[in-house]
A and B are shown apart, each in its own frame.
Chain A
Amino acid sequence: MSQSVLVIAEIRGGKLRQVSLEAVHAANQSAGGAPVDAVIIGSGIIPVASELAAYVSGKVYAVDHPELASYNAPAYLAAVKGLLDERKPGRVFLGHTAEGKDLAPLVAAHLGAGQISDVIAVSDSADGSVYTRPIYAGKAFEEKAFSGGSGVVTVRPNNLPPAAQAASPAEVVDRDYAPASDLRSIVKDVVRKAGGKVDLSEAKIVISGGRGVKSSDGFKPLQELADVLGAAVGASRGACDAGYCDYALQIGQTGKVVTPEVYIACGISGAIQHLAGMSQSRVIIAINKDPEAPIFKFADYGIVGDLFEVVPLLTEEFRKVLA
């Protein structure tokens, strides 16, 4: 491909996101040896730009401005517009994250480009890159390619390997940002609900609760196990609908799709719409009182038992072996 390839990298909690390096990997693969550039947007981001530069073969553009401290759609689009217009990238890669999902369609619309969202694998064909993505939340997969024009790709966290270090670090180039005077969308406040907790979509281990947890307090033993394992806590629709937890935790065809190394389903029966959200996890463990629960048909390891008995014992065991 003769046109340039650009990654829009992302910062969360002051740190470069792992998925941005996975996006660089996808970009490198699609670029077929041509240099890949990256842009990073935020405030006080030069250290992160330098960190990113180690993985980037082209240039790293840094758009550093106090007004870009947190994500805002029109401001972030304004921050990359100049670059998009100058470089006219043939491919743009972002993470399929809250920020990337929001920004990607704006970038695609600005470029008049197609977009392939939520990509989990990239392969090569004679006609260029082929992108695999789940449909119906992972009940099936489709392979997609661009019809010929430019394209925007968002990559799902945790599915592609991160980019290897580049032969030599990329040059970091400062880009000016002119604050837009007529923003019709202003971010007033951000409450970090996930404060200190592991992010569900990027977690290597997910401990999930269903109706069987019986109350919001019922999530406590799950959280204790999660703390020992450095895991994130999720939930089924049943648990969310019953008001035991926030919808932000919901895993399933409605809700989030997760693909951790280990998924521990506690008190979850295994409705089809829930299975869609977690069945691509590498190892699935089911803990349920009901031996007939459909989840056991999908679990690598099953324990028929009371989660309130088993989960604290598991926490104890892991404490011992991980100490």
Chain B
Amino acid sequence: MNIFCLLKQTFDTEERIVIQDGQVSDDGVKYVINPYDEYAVEEALQLREKHGGTVTVVSVGPARAAEALRSALAMGADEAVLISDERIQSDEAGIASLLQAYISKQPFDVILGGNFSVDTGGGQVAVRLAAGLGIPHAASITSLDIDGTAASVKRDAEGDTESLELTLPALFTAQQGLNEPRYPSLPNIMKAKKKPFQTLSLDDLGVDAAAVAPLTKRLGLSLPPERGAGQLIKGTPAEQAARLVELLRTEAKAI
């Protein structure tokens, strides 16, 4: 089974956001594999353990994204591909096109990705890629079973659980609860250094920068208004409860 896993490097979710010179500052920021993509990597590894085959992790991003790909190799992925080029200014549409340019030339059965990224969170790239490749997809899955070319999945739809059947090749995006991602073991971290790692430029892919130019543009960036601490309500639990209900009705006019 040829399994491809889409991966984005993101800020750790415990990072605060600082804006400097109109940009999100990455000064001293800790980077991780996008948490949803980590579920995708784990699922890819479990599929390989069950059905055999290879797991290739693919990312479009700057040079530092190599570190996230190395982490996925250390988890157990077989190969990594980083699509990286200073001319890439793409938004989600272009990133999907770049992934398509690479994956469409490979034999593939299953493509896995995260439900969305915890940074820009557009939730578009994977589904656009499925559309571009002309394959079915199921987003936000919480279980996946594959038998031959038939895939049965459960998908989370705002608390409802939808059961779907898809025919491979197909693309899936991972929701929380799909699995528990493994930690890289020390031997695997050592092995990861020797695994195949390709870096591809636009020229390698035969893609013109203009063809993946962004379709949207950022005009501004801001932080939410600071929220100060409010008031602590004192008294016995009964007094606190009564006072809170009163404040919510009279002062906050919320209930």
Task: Using CB atoms and an 8 Å cutoff, list the residues of chain A in contact with chain B.
Answer: 70-71, 73-74, 97-99, 101-102, 104-106, 108-110, 112-118, 125, 130, 134-147, 149, 151, 184-194, 197, 199-201, 205, 229, 240, 246-248, 250, 252-255, 261-262, 271-273, 276, 279-280, 282-285, 296-306, 309-310, 313-314, 316-318, 321-322
Contacts of B17 in A (CB 8 A): 136, 139-140
Segment at the interface with A among B80-88, B116-124, B200-208: B116-124
B interface residues, how many (CB within 8 angstroms): 81
Interface residue ranges of B141-176 to A (CB < 8 Å): 142, 152, 156-167, 170, 175-176
A296 to B230, CA, bound (A): 8
Looking across the interface, which residue of chain A has its beta carbon closest to that of B245? Answer: A317
A128 to B35, CA, bound (A): 35
Contacts of B221 in A (CB 8 A): 140-143
Task: Please pick, from B92, B119, B166, the residue contacting A185 in the complex, using a CB distance under 8 A.
Answer: B166
Interface residue ranges of B205-223 to A (CB < 8 Å): 213-223
Contacts of A139 in B (CB 8 A): 16-17, 223-224
Task: Please pick, from A106, A140, A200, A301, the residue contacting B244 in the complex, using a CB distance under 8 A.
Answer: A301
Contacts of A141 in B (CB 8 A): 221-224
Task: Please pick, from A191, A194, A313, A321, the residue contacting B237 in the complex, using a CB distance under 8 A.
Answer: A313
With a 10 A CB-CB cut-off, give which of B127, B152, B247, B249 has the most chain A CB atoms: B127
Q: Are B124 and A296 in contact (CB under 8 A)?
A: no
Segment at the interface with A among B7-15, B62-70, B103-111, B183-191: B7-15
Q: Are B164 and A186 in contact (CB under 8 A)?
A: yes
A309 to B230, CA, bound (A): 22
B212 CB → nearest A CB, Å? 12
With a 10 A CB-CB cut-off, give which of A279, A280, A297, A301 has the most chain B CB atoms: A301
B112 CB → nearest A CB, Å? 16
B109 CB → nearest A CB, Å? 13
A30 CB → nearest B CB, Å? 14
Task: Please pick, from B222, B223, B240, B248, the residue contacting A310 in the complex, using a CB distance under 8 A.
Answer: B240
Q: Are B24 and A190 in contact (CB under 8 A)?
A: no
A303 to B218, CA, bound (A): 41
A256 to B165, CA, bound (A): 26
Contacts of A142 in B (CB 8 A): 218, 220-221
A299 to B162, CA, bound (A): 36
Q: Are B166 and A184 in contact (CB under 8 A)?
A: yes
Q: Are A199 and B159 in contact (CB under 8 A)?
A: yes
Contacts of B92 in A (CB 8 A): 105, 115
CB within 8 Å for A247 and B175 given contacts A73-B137, A101-B139, A298-B229 = yes
A273 to B135, CA, bound (A): 34
Task: Using CB atoms and an 8 Å cutoff, list the residues of chain B in contact with chain A.
Answer: 11, 13-17, 19, 24, 35-36, 91-93, 96, 118-124, 127-128, 131-132, 135-140, 142, 152, 156-167, 170, 175-177, 213-224, 227-233, 237-238, 240-242, 244-245, 247-249, 252, 254-255
Task: Please pick, from A101, A187, A254, A304, the residue contacting B123 in the complex, using a CB distance under 8 A.
Answer: A101
Contacts of A296 in B (CB 8 A): 229, 232
Contacts of A301 in B (CB 8 A): 230-231, 233, 244, 247-248, 252
Q: Are B127 and A191 in contact (CB under 8 A)?
A: no
Q: Are B245 and A194 in contact (CB under 8 A)?
A: no
Q: Are A108 and B128 in contact (CB under 8 A)?
A: yes
A98 to B119, CA, bound (A): 19
B16 CB → nearest A CB, Å? 6
Q: Are A280 and B229 in contact (CB under 8 A)?
A: no
Q: Are A317 and B241 in contact (CB under 8 A)?
A: yes
Q: Are A313 and B215 in contact (CB under 8 A)?
A: no
A22 CB → nearest B CB, Å? 16
B182 CB → nearest A CB, Å? 16
Q: Give me 16 A-to-B residue pairs in the complex whose CB atoms sit less than 8 angstroms apart, sorted by A's number.
A: A110-B131, A115-B215, A139-B16, A139-B223, A140-B222, A184-B167, A189-B162, A200-B158, A205-B255, A297-B229, A299-B229, A299-B230, A301-B233, A302-B232, A303-B244, A313-B238
Q: Are B131 and A145 in contact (CB under 8 A)?
A: no
CB within 8 Å for A115 and B124 given contacts A144-B216, A185-B166 = yes
Other A-B pairs, 14, CB within 8 Å; known A108-B124, A143-B219, A314-B241: A70-B162, A73-B138, A98-B140, A105-B92, A115-B124, A118-B122, A141-B221, A147-B214, A189-B163, A197-B159, A254-B176, A282-B254, A301-B248, A303-B241
Q: Are B220 and A143 in contact (CB under 8 A)?
A: yes
Contacts of B224 in A (CB 8 A): 138-141, 279-280
A127 to B132, CA, bound (A): 30
A236 CB → nearest B CB, Å? 12
Q: Are A305 and B254 in contact (CB under 8 A)?
A: no
With a 10 A CB-CB cut-off, give which of B119, B227, B228 has the most chain A CB atoms: B227
